[in-house]
Chain A
Amino acid sequence: MAEKVLAGTSVTVNAEGYFENPAQWTKEMAVEMAKDYNITLTDKHFAVLEYLRQQHNAGVQLTIRKVGNSGITDIKELYQLFPGGPLKISSKLAGIPKPTSCV
């Protein structure tokens, strides 16, 4: 565990940079983290992040298939939104733990 300052606020993250406490998350933090991946967050990105947070809070184990069937985006677009890690990077930017599913 480590402390990291994001958007002027100190948050607790694990060794890989995932939030320990999703309640500490703000949109501004997501914008700042996205810069590490050269992603400029759009409304579409935020719709995905909100969906992930909502599902995580509901105790759902997230998979790329669930996001693809969410009605927010399809899987192809999800790859375009978060290149190189559609579920991993989006989960990190959403301030939720690293996904544990293999699908």
Chain B
Amino acid sequence: MTTQKEEYPLKKVCIICAKGTIEDVYATLVMANGAVMEGIEAKLFFTFFGLDAITKNRMEKLHTSTVGNPAMRMPGGLPFPTILGMIPGVEAGVSSMMKSQMDKLDMPPVKEFLEMIVAGGGEIYACKLAVDMFKLKKEDLTEEVVDIITVGDFYAMAGGIGTQIIFT
């Protein structure tokens, strides 16, 4: 029996963001923006701590963890001792340094990044269960959010040949 390998070009990505650190949120945003820039449809689903990225009073205050992050390095490349990361203010300092590095590469702040994705036709959704859990309301979320939806609604959008679900 011969099997013919068929490839379908990617048409749509459905990206789930469940964590609220800088790197998790930006992985989602970069992949979504990269998709729409290539003419690929993008649907974003923010859940659990990922909701921070679309919550008005938290979205520009994301941090990266300086504790329990073995990949963390000091400027210059030396390992970053976890005990340093525990000192108050260190996490904030590291996070703002990361943001300034990203800005140099033209990675915008979260709100602007979401606007860019929406401008390209991407759609932003919030997870109903997580919104209820964190006792948030639609008005607590940034205007780029289309709707608060269930997992079932999200899967309903994820059909079709050439669609992939990505969990960042």
Contact = CB atoms under 8 A, between A and B. Distances in A.
A86 to B, nearest CB: 6
Contacts of A103: 30, 33-34, 105-108
Contact-size category for B: 10 to 19
Nearest to A77: B119
Contact of A65 (B30, B34, B108): B108
Interface string A65-100: 110100000111011000111111000000000000
Contact of A84 (B33, B39, B106, B119): B39
Contact of A76 (B33, B34, B108, B119): B119
B106 A86 contact: no
A19 B108 CA distance: 29
B158 interface: no
Contact-size category for A: 10 to 19
A76 B112 CA distance: 13
Nearest to B121: A79
Interface in B17-42: 30, 33-34, 36-39
A74 B119 CA distance: 9
B50 interface: no
Interface string B35-69: 01111000000000000000000000000000000
A38 interface: no
Q: List 9 tightest A-B contacts by C-beta distance, closest first.
A: A84-B39, A76-B119, A63-B106, A75-B119, A65-B106, A79-B120, A103-B106, A75-B116, A102-B34
21 contacts: A64-B33, A64-B37, A64-B116, A65-B106, A65-B108, A74-B119, A75-B120, A76-B119, A78-B119, A79-B121, A83-B39, A85-B37, A85-B38, A86-B37, A86-B120, A87-B37, A88-B38, A102-B34, A103-B34, A103-B107, A103-B108
Interface of B: 30, 33-34, 36-39, 105-108, 112, 115-116, 119-121
Given A85-B37, A101-B105, A101-B106, 19 more contacts: A64-B37, A65-B106, A65-B108, A68-B116, A75-B115, A75-B116, A75-B119, A75-B120, A78-B119, A79-B119, A79-B120, A83-B39, A84-B38, A86-B120, A88-B38, A102-B34, A103-B30, A103-B105, A103-B106
